[in-house]
Chains A and B, each alone.
Chain A
Amino acid sequence: MNMEEFRSRARDIVNDATLTFHQRRHYLAWLAENALEYPELSKEAAEALNKQIICDLFEGSAPYRGRYILPDYGRALRNGSEHLELEPPQDLDEALNFLLIMYTQVPSITGYPVYLGDFDKILEPYVDDVDDEALYKKLKLFWIALDRILPDAFVHTNLGPRDSRISRTIFRIEREALQVVPNISLKVDPDLTPDDLILDAVQTVFATGKPHFVNHPLMVRDLGEDYAAVSCYNSLKIGGGSHTLNRLNLKEVALLHQGDIDSFIHDTLPHYVELNAELIEARIRYLVEEAKFFEHDFLAVEGLIRLDRFSAMYGIYGMAEAVDLLLEAAGKPGRYGHDDAANELSYQITKKIADLVAARPMPYCDGNNGRAFLHSQSGIDSDLEVTAGTRIPIGDEPEMFDHIKAVAPHHDLFQAGVSDIFHVEDTVRRNPSAMVDIIRGAFREGMRDFTFNLATNGFIRITGYLVRKCDVDQFDEMGARHGSTTFAAGSVKNSHVTERNVKRVLSRESSPRAPQ
């Protein structure tokens, strides 16, 4: 980028009437970062990045903060913070005040924290002497503050797997407040989570499209007890996080491939898997060794994040198109999501990538034994004609049971998250326990993440994040208060999210969009 182009793009951002002050500042910073040289890559990797066969999700060319950071808020509340000049809170008011202050200081790729803590656990020490109505009042004010101070749908909290008065109060507030922020995941364990709590959560989905549901025992198996789902569908370690998320476009790899399916699996795929790994490694090294993030950020200095709990996320997407292209080229019938042969091929591809990623050492990834976490990446607003992660294309989904059976086998290997979204008919409002049955069944079937939504509430799920339908409709004229609505407006235009058949809604993952 020459100076003239830089100035012209900066001018466009400064004068963009659809952006708030904060959004303009965020994009200006992004532009400045991208005026710097990219971390050094081999010629092949640079070319693959340039052609978007591998993709850095526009994270920027000089990483100076991790993509997803999960501070250990419990520890912060117990010990206080020297940097923030805050003593350990003694009651609920002090704890909520402490957290609101701390959130403004947590770095992330969007500029807002992607993780707020597991409220039922971190607030539990402060609520014993608070009666139900006082708890409701205090949390409601806190909830409104979160939505207004952190206007970004990737801001995420977790609840569960055990029942708690805090979780119940939060669901009640959610149903009343109808806010985009925060996004929520409920951890579900077959033994620890009562039906009644899931039922409460299901009724909250009817109103707000939140929460998501995650398979707690499966997460604990892969990440340990101290994990959280953040941003949307990104499961990582608390006190750690992910340096970066780079993804491999399987559709593009399949288009480039010449030869049979066997040579795709054994030759072409490993080649591109390594190029994406090279990109991840280069970005991690810059963050840790050049920007020295972990040496100066107060979270690291005060032990609220630890480098040895970090890893990186290795994303893939476009599985549906890749499978269909490979079968077509081989002259074999079958369509992803509908035919056993196609589904089997997709599992084989996932397994191969998982094996390659598990065999590829990655620096500063002690959070996963020196390897990246595999992630089924749920898309960004600029994706065209390529399906998110391992999802079945929008509008082509089979009925729910077949849909779950087709996608569930992928979930086992994506430790850092996978997203399949189910759109259910409105009649289920009268029988929410039917959704409890399906969620329990999906987890028995081995699913890791489960998200559903109804067509008739006021929210639309773009990736895992939500926007209000009215905000999308009005965006072109007026701009939006929430940063994520900007991505969503692009997403809705590019992928007909709102026109899809009644069965489900697409979801797309966060990325800081570059102003075009």
Chain B
Amino acid sequence: MKAAQGHLNDVIRFSAVDGPGNRFVVFLQGCNYNCVACHNPYTINECDSCGKCVEPCPEMALFYDGHNQVAVDDDLCTDCDICIQVCPSDSTPLSKMVRLESLVRQIDEVSPFISGITVSGGEPTLQADFVASLFSSIKCSEKLSRLTTLVDSNGSASRAVWDRLLPVMDGAMIDLKALDPDTHIAMTGADNGPVLDTIRYLAEWQRLYEVRLLMVPGRNDSPDTVERTARWLYDIDPSMRIKLIGFRQHGVRPQFADIPEADPQHLEKLSGIIRGVGIEELVLV
């Protein structure tokens, strides 16, 4: 089904950290996980127009529109992010609906400078119709079809959802928070069955660009756990590209401030373990 508009948090026109080459990145609003390590928690929920950000805004850029919805005056907003800091619901009043044509126009403008686009979030597969429409527009455009289309996802989507994206998607980066179901629930609030299935399914279709392992100290970074995870991934595809990421506090919500940052030496050790399993394409961040 074609979707003419999507719920957008923001875009970044030049990104060197969201896949190969320079990329235009679309951050969609809304996520079905609630991860302790989330670096951009304001993308998790839809704004419920509670209005708690209206008063604190120093620029008086936020107001109630005629329909009792919190709205923003773009000319006044200075992106100071105070609204995001005071939001009690892990959301933002600054997200907005974006029309497909408008987004394609922005990509078109940047296209001479990029290798492709990456749709991230939030969880982009929650708006799979919109993502599929966006990718179709790119793949059907003579000028833009050289751009690669990637999805950055938590992997929770079903095969039916991936089936909609696969014809127009060049690859996906999938987060695997934990191989162990209980740890996964503790870290994300959700079961990891669908994630494991996504990894198998996308690998089968050769659309798995990389699997990302975020190492959160004391939660999922024991050598034994990492070795089992690496072995599981290796068995699916020995040429699997893995990105090992150390947890950092940047952007994380105050209630998780006590989680320590990852130790570089420990990450080096874990890299050695992953390579020991036979994985060759390993990136340490």
Contact = CB atoms under 8 A, between A and B. Distances in A.
19 contacts: A399-B14, A401-B14, A401-B113, A424-B16, A428-B16, A430-B283, A431-B21, A433-B20, A433-B21, A434-B14, A434-B16, A434-B23, A435-B22, A437-B22, A437-B113, A438-B14, A444-B112, A444-B113, A445-B113
A442 B113 contact: yes
Contacts of A445: 112-113
* Binding site secondary structure of chain A: helix
B213 interface: no
Given A438-B113, A441-B22, 7 more contacts: A400-B14, A404-B113, A424-B16, A427-B16, A428-B16, A430-B285, A441-B112
A327 B265 CA distance: 56
Q: Which 9 A-B pairs have the closest CB atoms?
A: A441-B113, A437-B22, A434-B16, A434-B22, A444-B112, A441-B112, A428-B16, A431-B16, A401-B13
A400 B12 CA distance: 11
A257 interface: no
B80 interface: no
A440 B113 CA distance: 7
Contacts of B20: 431, 433
A441 B13 CA distance: 13
Interface string B125-163: 000000000000000000000000000000000000000
A495 B114 CA distance: 33
A436 interface: yes
Nearest to B18: A431
A234 to B, nearest CB: 27
A111 B232 CA distance: 66
Interface residues of A, number: 21
B1 interface: no
B147 to A, nearest CB: 11
B60 interface: no
A198 to B, nearest CB: 12
B115 A433 contact: yes
Nearest to B15: A434
A401 B110 contact: yes
A431 B112 CA distance: 18
A423 B251 CA distance: 24
A6 B13 CA distance: 58
Nearest to A428: B16
A144 B22 CA distance: 35
Contacts of B16: 424-425, 427-428, 430-431, 434-435
Interface in B15-61: 15-17, 20-23
A425 B14 CA distance: 11
A431 B114 CA distance: 13
Contacts of B283: 430
Q: Which interface residue of A399, A433, A437 has the most chain B CB atoms within 10 A? A: A437
Given A434-B21, A437-B22, A399 B113 contact: no
A437 B114 contact: yes
Q: Which interface residue of B113, B115, B283 has the most chain A CB atoms within 10 A? A: B113
Contact of B114 (A399, A424, A425, A441): A441
Nearest to A439: B113
Contacts of B23: 434
B115 to A, nearest CB: 5
Interface in B83-132: 110, 112-115
B212 to A, nearest CB: 14
Interface string B259-285: 000000000000000000000000101
Contacts of B15: 434
A444 B112 CA distance: 7
A167 B15 CA distance: 29
A437 B285 contact: no
A440 B13 contact: no
Interface string A15-56: 000000000000000000000000000000000000000000
Interface string A377-418: 000000000000000000000011100100000000000000
Contacts of A437: 21-22, 113-115
Contact of A438 (B17, B22, B285): B22
Interface in A152-209: none
A434 B22 CA distance: 4
Interface string A436-472: 1110111011000000000000000000000000000
Nearest to A433: B21
Nearest to A405: B109
B14 A431 contact: no
A435 B283 CA distance: 19
A149 B158 CA distance: 67
Nearest to B13: A401
Given A437-B22, A438-B22, A431 B113 contact: no
Given A431-B20, A431-B21, A433-B21, A440 B112 contact: yes
B74 to A, nearest CB: 16
A88 to B, nearest CB: 45
Contacts of B114: 437, 441
A424 B114 CA distance: 16
A400 B14 CA distance: 8
Nearest to B116: A437
A431 to B, nearest CB: 5
Contacts of A400: 14
A92 to B, nearest CB: 37
B17 A431 contact: yes
A441 B23 CA distance: 12
A241 B73 CA distance: 55
Contacts of A433: 20-22, 115
Contacts of A401: 13-14, 110, 113
A160 B129 CA distance: 46
A404 B115 CA distance: 17
A515 B234 CA distance: 67
A197 B2 CA distance: 42
A79 B114 CA distance: 47
Contacts of A430: 16-17, 283, 285
B246 to A, nearest CB: 13
A401 B285 CA distance: 26
Contacts of B22: 433-435, 437-438, 441
Contact of A427 (B17, B110, B112, B113): B17
Contacts of A428: 16
Contacts of A431: 16-17, 20-21
B24 to A, nearest CB: 9
A404 B112 CA distance: 12
Nearest to A426: B16
A449 to B, nearest CB: 17
